[in-house]
């Protein structure tokens, strides 16, 4: 299948690479075209937003937030270059209200849309085991399932347009609160004189164990803040979650709490670090270095 792909950031590059590995023809595009070079070397072609949009029957975007998706697709006119009857898949994590608004504009052009944000960060983007949370018509989802499966191990339709990003907001709340609790618990252990590495090993197989713990505890204990998912991006997601919650009257006090901690990290030059670096907030308060 011929697929256009716009957005060659931390997530977009490996996602597009996995489409190539699955045998699809891919045209990639990015505001900074230098980021397309690894894909071109692997067999993709590269072009402008308009060329990527016109390339095939599916266009995928992986962009930072709703304003960027609107800018690329509507303000800069990528959507106007898509063929009527083609499919737009937005894998960006944005406010579901924005997803519905963009879908309405796509419909005017005769273009179908899925909102299909992902979970798993850079490591799972690289190995093709992302989790896709998808909103849109069942028949369009069915047409695109195999394409998404080339990039992920879980592809679930959650409802109509906007349902994918609503599910992603729920995911990001759970991940953020887990990371905060993990950092807090490991800090408690070390301040109490217990090796946090042993605490991690002891509890990881019990009820407290989770994918978040397995992925993030080793990073916290090693002082590794290389971003698989940046704090600034998680701030963006939680902002969307709080805005959505306020609009529908859903209480999110834990989300607001962890958002403040992420914001502290941003204000102390931590915005580009991995979201597990929230542990550094606790290290600062407790006067320790976890595991070291």
Phi-psi region of 77 (alpha: psi -120 to 50; beta: other; left: phi over 0): left
| pTM, rounded to two decimals | 0.89
Q: Looking at the domain that runs over 166-286, which CATH code has it been given? A: 1.10.1040.10
Task: DSSP letter for 273, please.
Answer: S
For 46-67, give the DSSP string: E--HHHHHHHSSEEEE--SSHH
Please measure the distance between the N-terminal and C-terminal CA atoms of the chain and give it in whole angstroms. 50
Q: Which of 108, 124, 137, 168 is catalytic?
A: 168
Helix intervals (H) in 150-270: 163-191, 196-203, 211-222, 231-248, 253-267
Range list for CATH 1.10.1040.10 in the chain: 166-286
Range list for CATH 3.40.50.720 in the chain: 2-160
Distance of alpha carbon 275 from alpha carbon 179, whole angstroms: 8
pLDDT of residue 99: 96
CATH superfamily placement of domain 2-160 = NAD(P)-binding Rossmann-like Domain (3.40.50.720)
pLDDT of residue 228: 84
For residue 168, indicate whether it is catalytic: yes
Query: pLDDT under 50 in the chain at which residues?
Result: none
pLDDT of residue 121: 85
């Amino acid at each position: 299948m011929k697929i256009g792909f716009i957005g060659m950031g931390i997530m977009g590059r490996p996602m597009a690479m996995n489409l190539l590995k699955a045998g699809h023809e891919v045209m990639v595009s990015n505001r900074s075209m230098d980021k397309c070079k690894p894909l071109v070397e692997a067999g993709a072609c590269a072009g402008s937003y308009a060329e990527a949009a016109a390339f095939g029957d599916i266009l995928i975007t992986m962009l930072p937030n709703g304003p960027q998706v609107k800018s690329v697709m509507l303000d800069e006119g990528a959507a106007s270059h898509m063929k009527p009857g083609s499919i737009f898949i937005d894998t960006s994590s944005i406010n579901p209200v924005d997803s519905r608004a963009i879908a309405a504009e796509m419909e005017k052009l005769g273009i179908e849309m899925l909102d299909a944000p992902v979970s798993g960060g850079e490591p799972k983007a690289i190995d093709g085991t992302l989790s896709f949370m998808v909103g849109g018509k069942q028949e369009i989802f069915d047409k695109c399932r195999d394409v998404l499966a080339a990039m992920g191990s879980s592809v679930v339709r959650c409802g109509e347009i906007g349902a994918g990003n609503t599910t992603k907001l729920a995911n990001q709340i759970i991940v953020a609160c887990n990371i905060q609790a993990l950092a807090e618990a490991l800090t408690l252990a070390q301040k109490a004189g217990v090796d946090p590495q042993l605490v991690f090993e002891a509890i990881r197989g019990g009820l407290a164990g989770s994918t978040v713990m397995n992925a993030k505890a080793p990073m916290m204990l090693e002082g590794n803040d290389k971003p698989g998912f940046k704090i600034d991006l998680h701030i963006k997601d939680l902002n969307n979650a709080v805005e959505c919650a306020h609009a529908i009257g859903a209480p999110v006090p834990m989300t607001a709490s962890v958002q403040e901690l992420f914001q502290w990290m941003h204000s102390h030059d931590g915005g580009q670090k991995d979201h597990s670096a929230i542990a550094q907030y606790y290290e600062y308060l407790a006067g320790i270095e976890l595991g070291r």
